[in-house]
Amino acid sequence: MWRLRECSLNDEQLGIAVGLSGNAIRNRRSKPDLWKLSDVERLANHFTLPVTACVQLNQVLLDLPNTLKSLPPEERRRIERQLLFKLSQLESYNQSDWPVRYLLRMHQALINNK
């Protein structure tokens, strides 16, 4: 995100470069909670930064619902409480794209539960 501040492109130009509208870029700059995981990956590609973390995180998120389904119900519920997400929400965000704010919320919940 620090590269975004140094970017010489205006919102419209950056939007074209990463496949978003200029208005979407403007909104995300003013409200960083609106960024989605796929947006971050496209920005990293645009700025020629490694996307390994995005790809790995996306794969883990895609695998998580199936992993939870294979657990005994009480263990699944314990993990859902720990992550602050239900299985149905995980599946929904895997279909639509993960808002960064929810990834941060999940990360913070995991840190607080250690």
80-86: long-range contacts (C-beta < 8 A, 24 or more apart)?
A: 82/109, 82/110, 82/113, 83/109, 83/110, 84/109
Please list the ranges in the chain whose pLDDT falls under 70.
1-2
Do 34 and 27 contact (CB within 8 A), yes or no? yes
Note the pLDDT of residue 33. Answer: 87
Same domain, 46 and 65: no
Same domain, 63 and 26: no
Note the pLDDT of residue 89. Answer: 95
Note the pLDDT of residue 113. Answer: 80
Same domain, 57 and 42: no
Note the pLDDT of residue 1. Answer: 67
Which residue do the tokens 């299985």 mark? 87
Note the pLDDT of residue 92. Answer: 96
Same domain, 71 and 96: yes
Same domain, 45 and 59: no
